[in-house]
A = this chain, B = another copy of it.
Amino acid sequence: MPPSSIDHNIDLPAAGRRPTMAEIARIAGVDTSTVSRALAGSPRVTKETRALIDKIVKETGYVVNETARHLRGGRANQILVIVSDIAAPFYSDVVQGIVETLAERGINVLLGVTLRQPKRETQLAKQLLTGVVDGIITVTGSIPKPILNMPGFERKVVAISRAVPHEGVTCVTIDNYSAAKQVMQHLRQMGHQHIVYIGGPSYSETYRDRSAAYADFMRENGLNDFTNMRSTDTFNNDAESGLEIMRSILNDGVCPTAVFCATDELAIGAMAAARQANKAIPDDMSFFGFDDLKLTPLMSPPLSTVAVPRFEMGHNGAEALFRQVYNDAPVSTKVVLEHRLVLRESVARIA
């Protein structure tokens, strides 16, 4: 029987409640299955029925209940991004890359912030276990324990920027060791020997790689006497810590000709400390950063640094997770993106 053509204006759903598919069906005089198929664009529905349903949908302002769809379909079309601190420019850029990429694919992004508390990370992990999200992108360098017990968790997790100590988990990074080595080579070529290093927390492979490159280079070039590494283990990894660490370096009577900072944020703070101690940059002291944050070219002086493709990292990570979760493509365990040295005016050539 064709759908009835009774006047369907007589019984609109109660105001204040959104109409359900059942109501659309009742008004149209068809079954919910027909409405469902009509809206899904199934060829099994006549033009007329489809038109009628479309009209009613428009009139009532019906929108599908995604929660019901998810329950039935088993997919949330949502993923979770875990960062330690979205207020840090590095992470917010990565997240921007992720969000843009997934928005195009109709995937929602849940934002989880750990503030470096393992407890929070564990809580966030539950979102995957409870089915709220279909996958996780972590930018913290670790995977919460509860997840490791999920069979096949590898294809539901992607790590960005920081490698993760688990076999088979896709990881999008750069070659931190090489990059740091190149920085050191550049500083040496510019005549610097007394180079100190301000690093990030050693529990992160990223920062271990960078500091290892520094230490190796100093050793390999017979500069052991100058080797001096300070880290932010007990600090946050931000400009404030850079300031404090640089102050302590100067207080210790150490006076390098160049300072290599493991992040631009640290460099910003370190340079401020140097200025406060009346050092001219770069004439008295040179600085090299890492990340190429957007504002580094506008600093005074513009900061030489390593360009890290943050948006691309986010983009690639999101793309990888999407394929693994929604297209069951094979996992690609390691993606290494290109970095690039950006030479500006914060490094002086010395005799």
Contact = CB atoms under 8 A, between A and B. Distances in A.
Contacts of A272: 297-300
Contacts of A110: 78, 108-111
Interface residues of A, number: 61
A40 interface: no
Contact of A87 (B18, B66, B78, B92): B92
Interface string A107-134: 0111111010000100100110111100
A96 B86 contact: yes
A340 interface: no
Given A86-B99, A239-B295, A65 B149 contact: no
A30 interface: no
Most buried by B among A61, A78, A86, A131: A86
Contact of A131 (B67, B129, B152): B67
Nearest to A123: B103
Given A86-B99, A92-B92, A243-B298, A152 B65 contact: no
A120 B108 CA distance: 13
Given A16-B152, A18-B131, A87-B92, 5 more contacts: A63-B126, A67-B76, A68-B71, A95-B111, A300-B300
Interface of A: 15-16, 18, 61, 63-68, 70-71, 76, 78, 81, 85-89, 92-93, 95-96, 99-100, 103, 108-113, 115, 120, 123, 126-127, 129-132, 149, 151-152, 238-240, 243, 265, 268-269, 271-272, 275, 294-295, 297-300
